[in-house]
Amino acid sequence: EGTIHAGFARMKDRKGGSRHALVFDVRIGNTDLAIVNEVARIADILGVKYAFYSWKNPRRDKERRCWHVSFLGWERCEGILKPLLPYMIGSKRQQAELALRLISHRRATWKSTWGGSRQGFGASPVDAETMQGVEDLRKMKRVEYDADRKPVQR
């Protein structure tokens, strides 16, 4: 399982205040540690930094632990999505293509207003095209079901 996300987060600035910033995130998770380790190995080969963590819902004893690899920031997301894109299919491929277009547009229009990093955490004003791209990505991820609880193709 994986998710491709672009959204806004409140980030602290150097003066002690906070601003909303556009954040990109790609996460890949599975209950099979070997699968997640393989993703981490591929990221190591590509030279893409990541965070590795596990999570288990403490309220559900029968649920298995889930392992995750997270790529936070536009450089890391771009670094993992570009080489994986040829192997993606369906809606996940469409989400990855849109995220890559959004990253490319944001890279061309981004200007740090507070000394933010190159990872895309700067609080530069967001233009209408970026806002529309974030909303389109959210809409792509919504799944609708029919009366028989089967996913509906849009």
Residue tagged 């996940």 (tokens): 92
**In angstroms, how far is the first alpha carbon of the chain from the final one?**
21
Q: What is the pTM of this model?
A: 0.73
Residues 20 and 8 sit within 8 Å (Cβ to Cβ):
yes
Indicate whether 10 pLDDT > 80.
Answer: no
**115 pLDDT exceeds 70?**
no
Give 11-35 pLDDT, tens digit per residue: 777 777 777 678 889 999 998 999 9
pLDDT digits (tens, 9 = 90+) for 44-76: 999 999 999 887 776 777 778 889 999 999 899
pLDDT at 33: 92
Chain CA centroid to CA 33, Å: 20
pLDDT of residue 114: 45
